[in-house]
C-alpha cells in the first residue's frame, strides 16, 4: 500500500517532468523565432487584450469567490483598468522600444560607431501572488511579450478558482509554446522557481522571495523580486488633514489592506495626533459606513491570514497599545465572513509584532514624532520600504524627505498612484525587492541590451599593435589625453 510520502514524491516527480517538458517546448519554439518582429509582438499583445475584454468579469467573479467578498468594481480599479492601460501603452510605444539605439563612441575610436540592440531573453517565468492575482501576473507578461519572449505563469494556490480559470483563458488565446499557465501547490511553486528560465519574476513576500533567490542562483537565472515591507505614510505638519486622511484611508483599505504598497503605518506630528485620529476615523466611516454587510469591503483571503491579523491586534493590545476598532454600523462581527474591521493602533512599540512584520490587512499603527528629522530617522532605521507616502504643502520638507529616505517608489499627497504610471519604473530596493518593470522599464528588464561596436575601415587599434616601440608610448600618451 502506497504511503502518503510516496504519493507526494510521485506527484512532485510528475510535476517536475511536466514543467521541464513545457519549458523545453517553449525554448524550442523561441529558438525557431529568436527575435520576433513588430507584427508578431503586436499580435500577442492584441490577443492579451482580447482575453481581458472577454474574461475580465468572470475572472473577477472567481476572485471574489476565492476571497469570500470582493467587489467587481474593486477588481476593475485595482487590476483590469491598470492592465488595459499597460497593454495600450506598450502597443503605442513598441516600435520605438524595439529600435536599435545609437550610442556615443570614445574620441579615440570614432573611426567606428556604437549601437545598442534590444533582444528578447527567451522564456520568462512569472510567479504571481494572491492579493491581486490577475494584475500581478499579467502586468509582467505585458513587458515580457512586448520584448519578444515566451512566458510560463504560476498563479498562487491561495486563489485556486481564479488560477484554473486563467489557465483556460490563456489556452483559448495562446498556444502552449507562447504563453502557458501552470497551477498547483507550494511544492509546484518550489519546482517552478528552480527551473532554468532565461528570467524569473516573483511577486510575493520577502520570506518566500529569499527562497526564490536561492533557487534561481543554482541556475544563474536572472531574477526580478517584487516583495513588500512596511511602507510608511509621513503626515507633515503642513498638510490638510481632511484631504490627507481621506486619501490615506482609501489606500490603506483598498482590498482591506491586502496590497503590497498599502500604507503600513502612519507617522504623525505629536501636536496633531488627536486631530489625525479623529480625521482618519471620519474618512474611514465615510468610505465604509458598514463592514460585514458591505459588498465593497473585501474579506481577508483565508482563515489563516484572518487569524494572523487578529493575533497582531491581540499582541499589540497585550503589550500596551491602545486599540480603536471601527465598526460604524455596530454590526455583529462574524469570523466566518473574514471581515476584519479597520483598526487603529496607538502607543505602539517596536517590540510589538505589528511593528516587526508587514501587516497586509486593515490595521493602521500610528506613530507620533516630534521633528521631521525624527520621522526620517524612524524610516531609515528600518528595512527599505517598497513605497513611501508624504502628505503636506511645505516644499522644503517634501524635498528633505525625498532626498534623505530610500524606498522603491513614492507618491506625494496621495497613496499608490505611482504604481499606475507606465512611464515610471515599479520595484523595490533591498529587502523590498530588486529590479523594475512597467512600460519601457519592463521591456528592458525582459530584454538583453546587446552592445555592438562596428569598426570603420581604419582601426586606431593598429597604432598599438606589437612590436611595442617609443612610437607606441607616444600613441598611449595621446590616447590618455583624449580619454
The length of the chain in residues reads 483
- The closest alpha carbon to 419, from 81, 63, 64, belongs to 81
Catalytic site residue from 260, 358, 422, 440: 260
Quick one: which H or E segment has residue 364? strand 363-369
**Sign of the dihedral defined by the CA atoms of residues 140, 145, 150, 155, in that order:** positive
Q: For residues 101-128, b (16+ Cβ closer than 10 Å) or e, as one string? A: eeeeeeebbeebebeeebebbbbbbbbb
- The closest alpha carbon to 433, from 266, 265, 205, belongs to 205
The grid cell for 58 is 468572470
Omega prior to 20 cis, within 30 of 0: no
Cα 63 from Cα 140, distance rounded (Å):
19
**Sign of the dihedral defined by the CA atoms of residues 204, 205, 208, 214, in that order:** positive
Number of helices followed by number of strands (H, E) in the chain: 15, 16
Cα 77 from Cα 82, distance rounded (Å):
7
**Sign of the dihedral defined by the CA atoms of residues 146, 128, 299, 258, in that order:** negative
Does residue 260 carry a catalytic annotation?
yes
DSSP-assigned beta bridge partners for residue 322: 346
Q: Is 200 helix (H, G, I), strand (E, B) or coil?
A: strand
β-strands 409-412, 447-454 pairing: unpaired
Does residue 226 carry a catalytic annotation?
yes
Reduce the secondary structure of 111-145 to three states and give it as a string. Answer: CCEEEEEEEECCEEEEECCCCCCCHHHHHHHHHHH
- The closest alpha carbon to 202, from 123, 128, 143, 142, belongs to 128
The grid cell for 85 is 492601460
Catalytic site residue from 49, 178, 226, 440: 226
**Residue whose grid cell is 489556452:** 171
- List of residues 6+ apart from 278 with CB closer than 8 A: none
Alpha helices per DSSP H over 147-193: 160-173, 186-193
Cα 9 from Cα 435, distance rounded (Å):
34
Residues serving a catalytic function are 226, 260
Amino acid at each position: 500500500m502506497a504511503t502518503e510520502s510516496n504519493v507526494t514524491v510521485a506527484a512532485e516527480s510528475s510535476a517536475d517532468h511536466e514543467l521541464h517538458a513545457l519549458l523545453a517546448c517553449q525554448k524550442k519554439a523561441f529558438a525557431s523565432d529568436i527575435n520576433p518582429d513588430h507584427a508578431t509582438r503586436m499580435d500577442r499583445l492584441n490577443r492579451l487584450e482580447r482575453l481581458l475584454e472577454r474574461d475580465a468579469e468572470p475572472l473577477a467573479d472567481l476572485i471574489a469567490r476565492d476571497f469570500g467578498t470582493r467587489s467587481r468594481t474593486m477588481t476593475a480599479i485595482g487590476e483590469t483598468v491598470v492592465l488595459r492601460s499597460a497593454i495600450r501603452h506598450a502597443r503605442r510605444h513598441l516600435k520605438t522600444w524595439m529600435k536599435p539605439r545609437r550610442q556615443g563612441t570614445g574620441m579615440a575610436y570614432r573611426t567606428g560607431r556604437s549601437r545598442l540592440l534590444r533582444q528578447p531573453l527567451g522564456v520568462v517565468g512569472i510567479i504571481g501572488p494572491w492579493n491581486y492575482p490577475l494584475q500581478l501576473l499579467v502586468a509582467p507578461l505585458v513587458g515580457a511579450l512586448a520584448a519578444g519572449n515566451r512566458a510560463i505563469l504560476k498563479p498562487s494556490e491561495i486563489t485556486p478558482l481564479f488560477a484554473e480559470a486563467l489557465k483556460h483563458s490563456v489556452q483559448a488565446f495562446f498556444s502552449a509554446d507562447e504563453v502557458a499557465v501552470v497551477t498547483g501547490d507550494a511544492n509546484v511553486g518550489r519546482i517552478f522557481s528552480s527551473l532554468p528560465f532565461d528570467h524569473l519574476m516573483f511577486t510575493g513576500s520577502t520570506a518566500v522571495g529569499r527562497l526564490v533567490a536561492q533557487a534561481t542562483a543554482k541556475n544563474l537565472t536572472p531574477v526580478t523580486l517584487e516583495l513588500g515591507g512596511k511602507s510608511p505614510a509621513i503626515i507633515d505638519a503642513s498638510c490638510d488633514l481632511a484631504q490627507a486622511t481621506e486619501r490615506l484611508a482609501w489606500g490603506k483599505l483598498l482590498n482591506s489592506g491586502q496590497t503590497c504598497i498599502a500604507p503600513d503605518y502612519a507617522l504623525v506630528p505629536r501636536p496633531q495626533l488627536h486631530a489625525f485620529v479623529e480625521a482618519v476615523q471620519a474618512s474611514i466611516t465615510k468610505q465604509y459606513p458598514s463592514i460585514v454587510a458591505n459588498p465593497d469591503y473585501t474579506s481577508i483571503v483565508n482563515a489563516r491570514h484572518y487569524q494572523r491579523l487578529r493575533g497582531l491586534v491581540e499582541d499589540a493590545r497585550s503589550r500596551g497599545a491602545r486599540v480603536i476598532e471601527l465598526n460604524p454600523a455596530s454590526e455583529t462581527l462574524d469570523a466566518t465572513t473574514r471581515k476584519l474591521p479597520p483598526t487603529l493602533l496607538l502607543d505602539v512599540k517596536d517590540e510589538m509584532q505589528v511593528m516587526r512584520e508587514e501587516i497586509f490587512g486593515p490595521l493602521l499603527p500610528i506613530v507620533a514624532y516630534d521633528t521631521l528629522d525624527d520621522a526620517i530617522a524612524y524610516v531609515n532605521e528600518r528595512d527599505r520600504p517598497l513605497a513611501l507616502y508624504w502628505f503636506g504643502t511645505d516644499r522644503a520638507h517634501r524635498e528633505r524627505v525625498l532626498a534623505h529616505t530610500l524606498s522603491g517608489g513614492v507618491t506625494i499627497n496621495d497613496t499608490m498612484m505611482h504604481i499606475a504610471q507606465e512611464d515610471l519604473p515599479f520595484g523595490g530596493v533591498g529587502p523590498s525587492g530588486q529590479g523594475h518593470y512597467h512600460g519601457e522599464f519592463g521591456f528592458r528588464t525582459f530584454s538583453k541590451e546587446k552592445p555592438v561596436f562596428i569598426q570603420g575601415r581604419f582601426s586606431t587599434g593598429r597604432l598599438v599593435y606589437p612590436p611595442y616601440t617609443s612610437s607606441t608610448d607616444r600613441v598611449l600618451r595621446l590616447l590618455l589625453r583624449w580619454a
